[in-house]
Amino acid sequence: MGEKFIGILHQSLHFSFMPFVVFLITALLGISPLYCEEPTAQEIVAAARLNPMGGEITLNAQLRAGSVKVPFLIEVKNGSIRYGFSDPRQDIILTLGEDESQLEESLADAKSRVPVARYDDSVRGGLITYEDLALRFLYWKNPRLLGEETVRSRRAWKIEIPAPRSSSQYGAVRVWIDRESAALLRIEGYDKSGVLVKRFEVVSAQKIDGQWMLKQMRVERIDPTTHKTTGITYLQKLMSVLFLKFALALGTGIAITALL
């Protein structure tokens, strides 16, 4: 059942964007389910790992927290996702393998693997950490299917994945995975006591030339004592001027439609 489910999904998806920022950045692709039996939690999570790696694409994006904006480039190429920052120059490269994810950093033409000791560090001073970008939770053992819920009009599987002992800032992660596309719609991180401390959620998407792409994701930091939101960062895709000029020059009539 597992190999059949993942195989059909992999053959059916036509990708034009990555997931998360996961995590960050999943596209809503709107395909029809092609399986009859309910997959297991392990099969669903495995399908989510396949989601980001599709056709090559380069997009402009930004992290926004209040009036502070940090522009960066997202490039999906050769089975990897590159987050390119400037001032100072920094490239963070995510590769999702069969058994594990690999996060590398390139500074001044020197590339090395990001050590686990830095996974709790913030990326560019925001709410997103290197561990968040690494999507390690998609490889943790013993995921448990909690049921099905609706996230912004999308039917999604709700799955809880316990973190390996002493290897993560989280005690567990809950994910909401779109039933039709295996895209990550919502991610919640819980501390060692089982209290919610961070939430990632797709807020909106765009339909560009017939395909759904992420438009905005909200990242919230939540105080474990008061349970109140103490910080918000938005990850936003920016439409590049070059893309618009190219579309107009070709006269393609590319349709851009907001979702949600």
pLDDT digits (tens, 9 = 90+) for 25-80: 443 333 334 445 789 999 999 988 876 555 678 889 999 999 999 999 998 888 88
Return the closest-CA partner of residue 138 out of 92, 97, 93, 198: 97
**Cα 103 to Cα 138: distance, rounded to the nearest angstrom:** 14
Tokens read off for 52 = 């980001």
Global pTM reads 0.79
Q: Is 49 helix (H, G, I), strand (E, B) or coil?
A: helix
- The pLDDT tens digits of the residues spanning 220-252 come to 999 999 999 999 999 998 754 343 333 334 443
Contacts of 110 (CB under 8 A, 6+ apart): none
Tokens read off for 200 = 């990632």
CA atoms within a 13 Å half-sphere pointing along the CA-CB vector of 42 = 6
**Cα 228 to Cα 244: distance, rounded to the nearest angstrom:** 40
From residue 95, alpha-carbon distances to 52, 134, 201, 207 in Å are 10, 8, 22, 26
> What is the per-residue pLDDT for 252?
36
How many percent of the chain have pLDDT more than 90?
Answer: 53
**Cα 25 to Cα 158: distance, rounded to the nearest angstrom:** 18
**Structure-token match 């618009």, residue found:** 244
Residue 88: is the preceding peptide bond cis (ω within 30°)?
Answer: yes
- The pLDDT tens digits of the residues spanning 83-120 come to 999 999 999 999 988 889 999 999 977 899 999 999 99
Concatenating the DSSP letter of every residue in 132-147 gives: HHHTGGGG-S--EEEE
**Cα 29 to Cα 8: distance, rounded to the nearest angstrom:** 15
Q: Tell me the mean pLDDT in the region 13-20.
A: 37
Per-residue pLDDT band for 10 (boundaries 50, 70, 90) equals very low
CB atoms within 10 A of CB 78: 9
